[in-house]
Structure formats: structure tokens, C-alpha cells
Structure 1
């Protein structure tokens, strides 16, 4: 299946009360907005196409970028910010951050922020694969970063299950939700169509996609 819902809204709220540390899972708001986020970019194919889709829908998003991909494709980062979106820290490599030694984690976090800072203030980070420890959160806080996970998570795989992702997300998104989608590889090309379908459907409910900073601000 292309769709995997990691946390639905009630579960995310419950986890936010019992999981340690200052982690943003959702926002308490009655405004008809949700945060749309993309992990694992930038990518020469998916990132420009996502920007086209977001522009057509007048939507905003936060792109959690991988440092080594930023270094490989710096020309893709400027347009993200120029279109009114936000860039955030997703560490240096597409890997499970919780398995990275503490010293390396701190270096990777700092290096990714260094690569992104020319494009704007970096406020947020998301650990690879969504797992974290209190020590990781402290290291991030020392660097002025707050962790963002999400209320709903989905990943395109290039298989037939991709067609069900937008419909599965549509019924679960609420004001204040944080939605996590994934780009960054050729197999995830379907995220472009998923995003277009999802934003079209959510417009019928009056829900608008915004950045994480706008959602919390």
C-alpha cells in the first residue's frame, strides 16, 4: 500500500501528552487551516512539480530538506522560499536519525541548518523516520530548533496503492492537523498527483494548506 497513516488525530493528541519532550504534533486552532509538509527533498523532478501544484492551489507548505540533497541541488531551494514556502531541517541523510551517534547527530543537524540558513530562518527539524530521544530534542533545542512530527503521514511508493492516498487523508484532516508527505526519489513521483488531488478535495471543505510557522503563529 502506498498509504500509511502513522497517527490519526486522537492518537496524536494522546501521544503528545505521554511522549517526552517538546514535539509539535498538531496545533490547537479553530481556523480552517492545516500544515502541509514534505520530507526528503529537494529532488529535480518532484520539487519543481510540487511548487507548480501548490501555486495553482494558492497553498503553502514546509519542506523538510535533507542536507546532502540540498548540497547536490542548491538551485532547487531558492524557488521554494521565493514561492512563499518554508524550509526546515531533516538532517544530512535520509536515514533513521535515532540510530546516529549523538555527536554525529549534532554535527549533521548544525550542518543542515548551515546549508539552509542562506534561504531564511530555520526553526524546525524532523528526525529521520520520525523516531527521537530526549537527548536529540535537547541537542536540537540547543541549536534553536523544535521538533515537528505530524498527525497524518503518507508515503508514495510508485505502486497501485498511491491512488488511495489522497482519499485516505481527506477524511482525516482537521483544522490544526500536520500532514507529512514524501518526495526525494523517483519512486515517489506520485506525490505530485496526490498533492493535487488532496488540495482539490480539501478546498470543498474550506481547508487551506499553510506552513508550520503559519499554523503555529
Structure 2
């Protein structure tokens, strides 16, 4: 009887902890299930090509964005930057710097206020204000809600303004400052064609991301996986990665 109670308790603990564990490591089978449940959301891009995307949130921040750009240049890879409008106002020069380097700029709304807290009007105002600041040029236009949290009405509202909502498929919660060894291990384990890696170059101390990024890129290249911008990743697919995608 005692062993049965212990066994049941362990099962319950695992079931309770599993959803929380997905914040720091996402098995690909979970991503595929979520993609089928949330068909208007881009979590990954089904592709037969050996390409994937590295995306950076919450910049620009000269302390770390410069370092990220240097690493990308050294390894001759392209990436996507989801920038925050109010930080673009503080460092407008990075719009040209990032684009001239061949990277993609996308919309991360005007501030880092959780999108869950925004009304429809606030969401649209934040979206369009940032669109103007970055001189949006993507087709399709892409938006990632801050904290990767959303409300279901955002999909159709974003589509009204020509946007697809993008989250990602490889997170390690780098903004929580996990151990570097764990970030390396988890990101390398999650590497595969079509995934969207989410890390940060703004919003706090991002030195861990700078320390880990070169190893992840080298491992990807060793596996013949090429980091590309999100628009190139989407174009590599013969299937629609989200019904919101144009």
C-alpha cells in the first residue's frame, strides 16, 4: 500500500511539473502538437531544407546587440531581431546597422508590457507605433508578443494589419540566467530543421547568451544546419507554417 501511494504521488508530481518544464526545454513532439492545436501561430516551420532561425528579443541594447552582431558576422550567419519600439527610439541607429548586416527586423511591440495585459486598442497602437519606428518591410510582417504570451483574439487582429504571430520552438529562458552549460546542452539538443530559437539581446544582462551563442552556431554548422532569417525560413517551406502567414 505504501509503495502504491509513493508511486501515485510521483506520477502526480511529474504531471504537475511537466508543463513548467516546457518553459526551459521543448521536446519537438510537444511543439508539433502545439502547432496543430494553435494553427494560427507560427512555432516552427516545416521544411525539408537544413535551415533554422535564431531570433533575438527585447533589443536593441548596445551592451549586447553589438556583441551578437559581431558573433553573427564572425560565423557568417543571419538572424532575426524582434525589437522593442521604445528601445528603438533610444537607439534608432540600430535599425540601419541590423539591416545593413543582412539581418531581419521584426515587431516586438512598443514596450515589454505583457501582451496578456493589453486591450485590443493598446495592442494595435503598440503594434503600429513600432511598425513605423522600424519601417516595417517584411512580407509577411511578423510580430512576437512580449514574454511570448498571447490572447486568442490577437491572431485575427494582427492579421487585419498584415501580421503573422510568431513564437518559437527552442527556449531556455535565458532571461532567467540559467547555467551556461544548460543553455548549451538544451539548445544543441533542440537543433533541427525548421526550429525557431528564441534568445535575448536586451532587457537585462545577456552575457550568458553571448557566451553560449558561438557554441550553438558551431554545433549547427557541424550538423550542416544553416541559421537563416525568419523570412528565408518561411520561404523554404512548401507548407503554410500558420494559417495567419500570408
TM-score, normalised to structure 2, is: 0.81
CA deviations on 1:118-146 (whole Å, 9 max, x unpaired) are 6x337100011112122111221111110
- Inter-partner Cα distance in structure 2 for 1:158 and 1:89: 22
Following superposition, which runs of at least 4 residues in structure 1 exceed 4 angstroms of deviation? 157-160
Mapping of residues 2-81 of structure 1, within 5 Å = 4-5=23-24, 7-19=26-38, 22-81=40-99
- Inter-partner Cα distance in structure 2 for 1:171 and 1:50: 21
Structure 1 segments unaligned to the other structure (5+ residues): none
**Count of aligned pairs:** 213
Partner of 2:197: 179
- Inter-partner Cα distance in structure 2 for 1:148 and 1:60: 18
Partner of 1:99: 117
Partner secondary structure for residue 29 of structure 1: coil
Partner of 2:145: 127
CA deviations on 1:28-83 (whole Å, 9 max, x unpaired) are 11211111101111101111111110011111111000110011100122111111
Larger Rg: 2
Structure 2 segments unaligned to the other structure (5+ residues): 1-21, 236-246
Q: Is the 8 A contact 2:55 2:82 kept in 1?
A: yes
Partner secondary structure for residue 171 of structure 1: helix
